[in-house]
Structure 1
Amino acid sequence: MLALGLLKSAPAHAFNLEGKGKGKKIIILGAGLAGMASAYELTKLGYDCTILEARERTGGRCWSIKNGSRHNEVNKQTVTANFDEGLYFNAGPSRIPHNHELTLHYCKELGVPIQVYNNVNESTYYFAEGKGSLSNKKIRAREIHNDVRGYMTEMLAKTMDNGELDSPLTKEDSQKIVEYLMAEGGLDADKLYKASARRGYIEAPGAGDKPGKLSDPLKLAEIIQSGLLDPDFYNVAEYTYELQMTMFQAVGGMDKIAQAFEKKLTPMLKLNAEVSNIQNTADGVKITYKDKVGTHELSGDFCICTIPLPVLSNIKNNFSSNVSRAVDYINYNETGKIGLQFNRRFWEEDEHIYGGITHTNNELTQIFYPSYDYLSKKGILIGYYNFNEKAKQVGELSYAEREQLALYKGKLIHPQYDKTFEKSLSVSWHKTKYSMGGWAVYTSETRKNAYPALLKPDGNIYFAGEHLTYLNAWMAGAFESARSVVADLHSRNTESRQTYPTQTTKG
């Protein structure tokens, strides 16, 4: 039927809405991914869109910092990155899960090349500051993972042998479980955990009389007492749905996705346009904004507001009371990153780390290794990626103090910092003008009582962004929200029932 033209093809993310916009004027607030995706889809339907963006660039939090990138935080001077040409780090989103199909769909439709992002790397480290015998030492992730897995399966196997497992299993069932545990944990014939090649070598195997030398496993009590099983290290990436491999990134930086949208939307973009007033009117909307020339008013039939809620709460408006409460009650988290440029990729040359994440319990929280330009001369590490209270404390520091902290804590893991560091730039998103937070963080109360108010239009004003999905912090959240709002607005405008694809899985 497809071949004969009797049935339309239905790609996973087809968005073929019926009807036309007939030139209705839509004012979109914010040129982040949600705002630009909304304009992109509405323009296809014949709407007349204008996008107002307060920043001098598009993309919002989808931002790759490169040479010449300018950054502005509240109560701090504007800084400009002076990284070497071709080097960058993603200050915002850096990963695309393979199950976020809509993000991948837009990469394909807009011609944005992608490459594999190495999120899981057993060669990275765990580093716990403290007073335990293993504290203040960098330990390969593979050693911790395999030793803990081995000890835990050993204990469970012994429990099975003693018949202490509170589960109605036959003898044959129990034997199968024990066999699985032995394989999973690498146990020997006596159901004991001992070191194997899984956790790596002290001396690598090679030619001739070089079978390789294994180290003894770390003791479970030492692992626990040294803080290496504390909550700081619970985020095992391969277990988290969105972080499971395979993951991707846009070649050249994630902002290539934003730039691809921008190329399609340039005529309707107004940058450096800071919104100061959002008003519902009897027959549409009226938006007040100021730019380098002065203050302007813009009228339209509908508005799609994608401004982050901590920023929106300080903009004058005539929203309904329940919408105003929702805007004020939904919180965003504190988070920050720093990019550190080094004149030598010592993590690859000295330590055989190609991509992946080192985890710590100090202010750094995480160190990210680049998944591009392997074996090249220079590179940029994300020297910290922290959240909540740690990010809040680091965000209060000056740019110079953040750099000093990243270097001081980082060289506890990589002493090569001293001889190879060149330059840096840091971003605290909760301090960043026009963002004022990393992403929306819901409690059960705000998800129940505040979230629903923003899912519906308030008069002629619609709301969109990652904060209006269950995909908070992901680019897919922006895209899913944009499509949902476009479909709702278009259905209302055409005064007919429309059907459109909805995802049953995260995308």
Structure 2
Amino acid sequence: MNRRQLLSWIGKTAGVSAMYQAMSSLGFAAESRPMSHLNFSGAPKGASVLILGAGLAGMAAAYELSQAGYKVKILEYNGRAGGRCWTLRGGDTFTELGGEKQTCEFSDGNYINPGPWRIPHDHHHVMEYCNKFGVALEPFCQLNYNAYLHSTQAFDGKPQRYRHVQADYQGYISEMLGKVVKQGALDDELTLEDRERLFESLRSFAALDENGAYKKSLETSMRRGFAIDPPGGLGPSTQYSEPLDRSALIQSELWEHIWKGQQLRHMSTIFQPVGGMDSIAKAFVQRVGQFIEYNAKVTHIDQSDTGVSATYTVNGEEKVASADWCVCTIPLSILGQIPMKVGTAMQMAIRAVPYDASIKIGLEFKRRFWEQDDTIYGGLSYTDLPISQISYPSSNFGSKGAGVLLGAYTYGPNAYEFTSLPPAQRIKQAVKYGAQIHPQYTEEFANGISVGWHRVPWTLGCYGMWTEETRKAHYENLCNIDGRIVLAGEHASYLPAWQEGALSSARDAIQRLHNEIVSTGA
């Protein structure tokens, strides 16, 4: 059983609250703390820090340390900064493991974020830096009640509107609970007044009638939508909509998607940078770009009592960068393959954290048919097909011409299955699957691009996968300063896979490193 199956099973059997606690214990749903003030008083003049990796963690460390007077240098493997904070636009290219090169063919103005694609309202560090650097934000539509929930095993494979599933499921379970109340099954648990209040709350919550039944009515149609909407003038008369069959709905398991719009990370308001997630990376580059050496592949990391050095290659030429201290933000999936002079505890911690496999597929279509035909403006549709989900763009609503949606975002076995295919075939498969939800796919498809993170040479995975056991055994050793080296990044946080984890980790690491520098006088 993989992580997602386990969490899904917990959610089905014990409810959302239990599942969220499980996510927290696994390190996937920890709270993000407000950004604290950094205190760099007493920074020794001329002290230098070598930073490995120009992702958000590395650039945040460079920005704050340079502001405090430290001399910084960043070595970055790629020819661009940002790491997984990455946006693909028309003309962009990249090469994955195995040598497959893809070129993005999107029209001007269209893009896909293959890595981070949304910013929850409570990700304080990301929001603070966006505000500080003037990165323009706009709402990201996570939940759209007009989007689809789809199962190949239910309702003859026909997708159902999210609002139909949610309204009807809430209605039926409320009706059944109301019957339990009326039959006296809760008499030992609740007072008469509480039972009456509970029954009335169920009626209000789920649009039950005066007898506690959930059925076709004006009230239920106000939740799930009308068969024929209220007209203007002499249009067709309003018709209430018929709820889904109760047994079919329960058996469909489509209800398992309802909680996804209710979990903390997905609650409104969610944001995205205008024009692409890499706007954040570009804002950092404007402030620390002069410290970055690009196309620098680190091959060895050494340290002594007096300093740190990193051997690296640029276009085949071997170089060495030295500094008094080092902040290393290289993903553990890569770092574990680089000889590094640190203690056994840190080495074991680095090798204890595997990285998840995932793939995102961006699809461009000739027109925004999801808006024009299906009245879906932003949000996500979910399916049991290998693509897992479809995310509709949250910007440029109603615009003419081509549009891009996220045609697949999946993990684990499905991700491996997709990337076992050549890139062009992956796109064809995504279109084939998506057409079961949107038949317009076949006729309207223009081009696409895929990023399988476990096949990206500079990260070899999507994010660090902690368990409760590995955190207990290795997390502190991973984060502790080893001699003159400290690690930072989403893997060194309780918010793996999120930019918030990378930024909060970096700020914590450099504050502790500064304290160490000042206290030792080194």
TM tier, shorter chain? over 0.9
> What pairs up with 1:106-505 in 2 under 5 angstroms?
106-130=129-153, 132=154, 134-165=155-186, 168-195=189-216, 196-197=220-221, 198-209=223-234, 210-229=236-255, 233-234=256-257, 236-292=259-315, 294-377=317-400, 378-495=402-519
Counterpart of 1:76 (choices 90, 99, 109) is 99
C-alpha contact (below 8 Å) 1:120/1:356 kept by paired residues: yes
CA contact (8 A) 2:454 2:462 kept: yes
Q: For 1:461-481, what per-residue CA distance to the aligned partner results, in whole angstroms no more than 9, with x for missing partners?
A: 100011111111111111100
SS in 1 for 2:272: strand
- 8 Å Cα contact 1:135-1:226 kept in structure 2: no
3-state SS in 2 of match to 1:495: helix
Q: Is the 8 A contact 2:85 2:281 kept in 1?
A: yes
The alpha carbon displacement at 1:455 in A equals 1.2
Structure 2: gaps of 5 or more residues: 1-33
Instruction: Structure 1: give runs of 5+ residues left out of the alignment.
Output: 1-10, 498-507
Q: Distance in 2 between matches of 1:464 and 1:436?
A: 17
Counterpart of 2:22? none
- Residues 29 and 306, structure 1, Cα contact 8 Å, conserved in 2: yes
1:91 corresponds to which of 97, 108, 114: 114
Fraction of identical pairs, as percent: 39
Counterpart amino acid of 1:426? Answer: S
Name the structure 2 match of 1:8.
none
CA distance in 2, matches of 1:43, 1:394: 43
* Cα distance in 2 between the residues matched to 1:441 and 1:194: 45
Measure, in 2, the Cα distance between the counterparts of 1:248 and 1:157: 39
SS at match of 1:213: coil
- Superposed displacement of residue 443, structure 1: 1.2
The alpha-carbon deviation at position 181 of structure 1 amounts to 1.1
Q: CA deviation at 1:496?
A: 8.5
Distance (whole Å) between structure 2 residues aligned to residue 333 and residue 185 of structure 1: 39
- Report the CA distance shift for 1:238/1:418 in structure 2 as closer, same or farther (over 3 A): closer
Partner of 1:500: none
Secondary structure of the equivalent of 1:298?
strand
Question: Counterpart of 1:290 in structure 2: which amino acid?
Answer: T
CA gap 1:222/1:38 in 2 versus in 1, 3 angstroms: same
Higher helix fraction (1 or 2) = 2
| One-letter amino acid of the counterpart of residue 216, structure 1 | E
Query: How far off its partner does 1:490 sit?
Result: 1.0
Q: C-alpha displacement at 1:102, in angstroms?
A: 1.5
Cα 1:483–1:167 change in 2 (3 A) is farther
Compute the TM-score of the two structures, normalised by the length of structure 1.
Answer: 0.92
Separation of aligned partners in 2, 1:21 and 1:242: 40
Q: 1:24 aligns with which of 26, 47, 62?
A: 47
Does the CA-based 8 Å contact 1:21-1:490 persist in structure 2? no
Once the two structures are overlaid, the 10-residue window that deviates more, 384-393 or 364-373, is 384-393
* Structure 1 letter corresponding to 2:361: I
Q: How does 1:1-16 map to 2 (within 5 A)?
A: 13-16=36-39
Contact 2:349 2:478 (8 Å CA) reproduced = yes
The Cα of 1:212 is off from its aligned counterpart by: 2.5
SS of match in other structure, 1:385: strand
Count of aligned pairs: 482
Cα drift, residue 211 of structure 1: 4.5
Instruction: Check conservation: 1:338, 1:424, Cα contact below 8 A.
Output: yes
In the aligned structure 2, how far is the partner of 1:298 from the partner of 1:314? 19
Q: Name the aligned partner's letter for residue 337 of structure 2.
A: N
CA contact (8 A) 1:19 1:45 kept: no
Corresponding residue for residue 502 of structure 1: none
Q: Residues 269-309 of structure 1, C-alpha deviation per residue, up to 9 Å, x if partnerless?
A: 01100100011222111101001150111111111111111
Is contact 2:87-2:276 (8 Å) kept? yes
* Partner SS for 1:331: coil
Measure, in 2, the Cα distance between the counterparts of 1:212 and 1:302. 72
